[in-house]
A and B are shown apart, each in its own frame.
Chain A
Amino acid sequence: MIAEVIGEGYDLDLDITRDTSFAEDIEIESIEFVAFGELLRETYDERVDLVAWFGEMDVDQIIALTVGEVVDYVVRCTS
């Protein structure tokens, strides 16, 4: 899913774990993260609403997000 959003330039050698950071490790662009959020919503549930979730965070926290935190959020939304 991440590869689909990032497309060209995605480092296929990167081993994605729960601790992988979107900004530091994947180097996802901010606009790509918007697309990623859309894809999560389409794939899992309408309740996956990144804009609402971001309302609880400042910019540093958003930048520091890891794959594990997003997974946990999606699980919370869909359970």
Chain B
Amino acid sequence: MPYLDVNGLRFHYQRVGAGDAADATVVMLHGMLVDNLSSLYYTTAPAVADFADVLLYDLRGHGRTERPPSGYGLDQGVDDLLAMLDLQGISRPVYLLGNSYGGTIGLATAQRYPERVAGLILIEAHFSVEGWSEEFAKDLELAGFGLDAEDMQRWLDAHAGRKINKLADQALSLVGQTSMIADLRGAPTLHADALRAIDCPTIAIYGEYSDVIDRAHDLEALHPCCEMNIMLDCSHSALMEATITVRSLVRDWLIRRAAGEESTSRTTKVRVREGEGSGEEHRSTVEMYKAELRRRHALVAEAKAAGIRAVEARAVDADGGAG
């Protein structure tokens, strides 16, 4: 598999499609924690590979890219992308397609280096409005916390697959053994004015039941040229729940860009194909999981506080005894 040394780390990448003579280059950025480039290799890359040059890579700590103990901040993600483009010899502006956190990197890149970005394809993009990084870090921490050794073993025994074990290893290692959560807490906020200033053509795709649907509304309100697509009966996993529909939206949008059509602000409610969707069910499972993790988190915090109170009480007793 092809690798490149980028910012001192060994990155796994794939370059597929119509080659660098193609009219457009699309760089695909995957999500966080249990994701890697393969999710886009199977879904969005095939939608454009016949006419575009496509670059995909595993973000630091993910897939087959090295996992350093630190350096998971958003700015670092943008720096990795820019260094990757330079090393690949891609100097023209590229389309950035990002799923979830990959979309966060896409937006941050368009903000910092607008001259390198031809357009954005945002699928369920998180981005750092006020309070975002804290919430996002907390959710990740909860996910890490939820996977304590005993529960994890029980869950693994039930599922018992090497594939699941490997994904769990990646997630546990990222949350438990790197500075990812602390780094994300420090993610810079994307203020409303900055969002207004991102003026590259953009297509956004969000599930109507997505837990980040507020980000879709922020984009609708602030981004000056964003084609918003709300996928009916889909959740945050819209890409997996309605792959064929997402593919056709992305393909059609890029073909219209190549034909010189301007990107204008509008919102479309997209009915997915038969057999796609089921996002409401998916969302309720995720909500149940998060509620359970929060309950456990509270229990541990309470136990810790009680422990601290007990230690303090003993200290007071000891002081009293000494006095």
Contact = CB atoms under 8 A, between A and B. Distances in A.
Given A51-B49, A54-B46, A58-B244, A31 B63 contact: yes
A30 B162 contact: no
Given A34-B1, A55-B247, A58-B244, 5 more contacts: A29-B163, A34-B14, A34-B41, A35-B1, A52-B46
Contacts of B1: 34-35, 38
Interface string B54-76: 10001000011000000000000
A51 B38 contact: no
Interface in B1-51: 1, 14, 16-17, 36-39, 41-43, 45-47, 49-50
B163 A59 contact: no
B76 to A, nearest CB: 22
Main secondary structure of the interface of A (DSSP, over half): helix
A29 B36 CA distance: 11
27 contacts: A23-B163, A27-B162, A29-B38, A29-B163, A29-B166, A29-B167, A30-B39, A31-B38, A31-B58, A33-B38, A34-B14, A34-B37, A34-B38, A34-B41, A51-B16, A51-B54, A52-B46, A54-B41, A54-B46, A55-B46, A55-B47, A55-B49, A55-B247, A59-B42, A59-B43, A59-B240, A62-B42
B64 A31 contact: yes
Contacts of A52: 46, 49-50
B243 A59 contact: yes
B323 interface: no
Interface residues of A, number: 19
Interface string A58-78: 110010000000000000000
A58 B38 contact: no
A28 B164 CA distance: 10
A23 B161 CA distance: 10
B41 A51 contact: yes
A37 to B, nearest CB: 9
Nearest to A24: B161
Interface of B: 1, 14, 16-17, 36-39, 41-43, 45-47, 49-50, 54, 58, 63-64, 161-163, 166-167, 240, 243-244, 247, 276
Nearest to B36: A31
Contacts of A62: 42
Nearest to A37: B41
A51 B46 contact: yes
Task: Indicate the member of B38, B167, B247 with the most A CB atoms within 10 Å.
Answer: B38
Given A34-B41, A59-B42, A27 B161 contact: yes
Contacts of A55: 46-47, 49-50, 247
Nearest to A11: B162
A58 B252 CA distance: 18
A31 B166 CA distance: 11
B36 A30 contact: yes
Interface in A44-58: 51-55, 58
B62 to A, nearest CB: 9
A31 B46 contact: no
Contact of A9 (B41, B43, B58, B162): B162
Contacts of B54: 51
Contacts of B16: 51
A51 B45 contact: yes
A30 B58 CA distance: 13
Contacts of B50: 52, 55
Nearest to B251: A55
Contacts of B47: 55
A63 B175 CA distance: 27
